[in-house]
Amino acid sequence: MKSDGAYDSTRMTPRCFTLLLALAVNAAVGVPLRAEPVAGGPMKHVVIVPVREEIASPALYILRRGLKEAIEEKADVVVLDMKTPGGALDVTFDMMEALAKFPGQTITFVNNEAMSAGAFISATTGEIWFSPDGIIGAAAPVTASGQDVDATMKLKVTSYLKARMRAISEGKGHRGAVISAMLDSEYELKIGDVVVKPKGELLSLTAAEALKTYGSPALPLLGAGVAKSLDELLAKKFGENGYVARRLEVTWSERLSVVLNRLSPVLLGLGLLALFIEFKTPGFGFFGIAGIVCLGVVFLANYAAGMSGHEPALIFVIGLALVTLEVFLFPGIAIVAVTGLVLMLGSLVWAMADLWPGVPLTVAWSGDAFVAPLQNLGLGLLLSLGLGLALAKFLPRGWIWDRLILGAAVEGAAQSSGGAPEQASVMASLVGSTGKAMTVLRPSGQVEIGGRRYEAQVLVGGIDAGEAVVVKGRASFGLIVERISP
């Protein structure tokens, strides 16, 4: 247990974590400031999510992961341990939307600053607590480089943000007006006869100023309380022994997933192309491993981003197994490979969709949860197709392309049945001949007949290298052989 009353867990799988203490039902938002737990009553389950440094994708990923785990664990409270100078507005909106999906109580602990975007996120939570030296405010929109935005654009953004803040702050005292005063220098914050902030400046508040009361009835300007630490905050809310808390931390995987998620279409395209090449060439080697690694990275990146669970990976493995059965054991049964391919592509879309516990797929599909994943998959398929066409155009005689089309003779032997009539005659004359497999045929590979090598395939099962074979016919790009039983 840390000094702030939280268990330290850098990565917690909700399905594997079992609380040893009884968990309460969701706490009501209006819990008294210093409420003590009723004797014998339930203990509050608290998840603490750090919101530190600049508001960017890693902060969104850790918040999304924490909220989803809290929902699955039926946690009562999520506390944001906040210390941020602000950050990207689009990420801020995503974090605000994510917080709105948590059904329990949400609290921000300003420890010790919530500036700009941090103020917007704080305003989304049910209560805002402060450390003694905590400050909040100065939330005017600026560009990514920190410069003032164009005057017209600033008016539009400010108007939108004020409306949004009013909507989420309804029924929370002076909060809507206070946040408006933080983002609009021309907004005069006046409560009763008292002008809290005149026009011409942005509002920022210290902990003491945020707790000062105004109006009739007298209500705190913004804060719900002051605490020296998270431990003290939770003790004031739920009693010294009235809660069990778990703290999440931003891991290297969240930071790495920021880059990998941006590369998802590229990874998808390369992975699908590599698997296609592997399935069209004899044996199993570099391309198969590369394809699996690329698609595996897509799954891991989305899992680290708090979007994907374990289920999409399981569906992908099932689809891959079906395609493998088609290629190596039962070639020609198209329904097996098609089913496997559908499962693989579907699992990739599922892995990239931001789905929340308890939300049916039908509801998620009616929204925009699958728009970005489908776009990424489409870009990946186009990239795979483009790279395949480039391979066919610029490497027509390379070893990769020769293995793909099985159209070049090995050691000078003509193979293509679509070539000259004399080539077809050579191929036909080999029917009934015997030889041996020089490579593994699963289903394609190479055989040696009369001292010359030929490309060949087996229709059912596989043939190991060194086994005796007999030619049963010819296909478009090679011979059809069977194993000679001992």
pLDDT, average across residues 469-476: 84
pLDDT, average across residues 332-357: 73
Whole-number pLDDT of residue 460 = 77
pLDDT, average across residues 232-246: 93
pLDDT, average across residues 296-315: 67
Whole-number pLDDT of residue 331 = 57
**Segment 164-174, tens digit of pLDDT:** 777 777 778 88
pLDDT reading at 106 higher than 90: yes
* More confident position, 373 or 473: 473
Going by pLDDT thresholds of 50, 70 and 90, the confidence category of residue 253 is low
Residue 468 β-bridge partners = 436
**Segment 108-165, tens digit of pLDDT:** 999 989 998 899 899 899 999 999 999 998 876 655 555 555 666 667 777 777 787 7
Whole-number pLDDT of residue 281 = 60
- How many whole angstroms separate alpha carbon 324 and alpha carbon 346? 17
* More confident position, 335 or 215: 215
The identity of residue 178, as a single letter, is: V
Residue 242 near residue 31 (C-beta atoms within 8 A): no
- Compute the half-sphere exposure of residue 391: CA atoms within 13 Å on the CB side of its CA: 19
Whole-number pLDDT of residue 267 = 80
Nearest to 169 by CA among 219, 232, 112, 234: 219
- How many whole angstroms separate alpha carbon 251 and alpha carbon 304? 9
User: What percentage of the chain has pLDDT greater than the value 70?
Assistant: 67
Whole-number pLDDT of residue 439 = 83
- How many whole angstroms separate alpha carbon 196 and alpha carbon 190? 6
User: What percentage of the chain has pLDDT greater than the value 90?
Assistant: 21
Cα→Cα distances 304→128, 193, 386, Å: 28, 51, 29
pLDDT reading at 229 higher than 90: yes
Whole-number pLDDT of residue 411 = 38
Whole-number pLDDT of residue 7 = 37
Whole-number pLDDT of residue 107 = 96
Going by pLDDT thresholds of 50, 70 and 90, the confidence category of residue 306 is low
**Segment 409-433, tens digit of pLDDT:** 343 343 443 444 555 667 778 888 9
Whole-number pLDDT of residue 22 = 28
**Segment 24-56, tens digit of pLDDT:** 323 322 333 333 333 445 799 999 999 988 887
Q: Which residues contact 245 (CB under 8 A, 6 or more apart)?
A: 4, 5, 6, 7, 46, 47, 48, 79, 230, 234
Q: Chain-wide mean pLDDT for the chain?
A: 74
pLDDT, average across residues 218-228: 93
Q: DSSP states of 210-250 as a string? A: HH-EETTTTEESS-SEE-SSHHHHHHHHH-TTSEEEEEE--
- How many whole angstroms separate alpha carbon 120 and alpha carbon 361? 30
Other Cβ atoms within 10 Å of 45 Cβ, number: 23
Secondary structure class of 473 (helix, strand, coil): strand
Q: How far is CA 5 from the centre of its chain?
A: 30
Whole-number pLDDT of residue 305 = 58
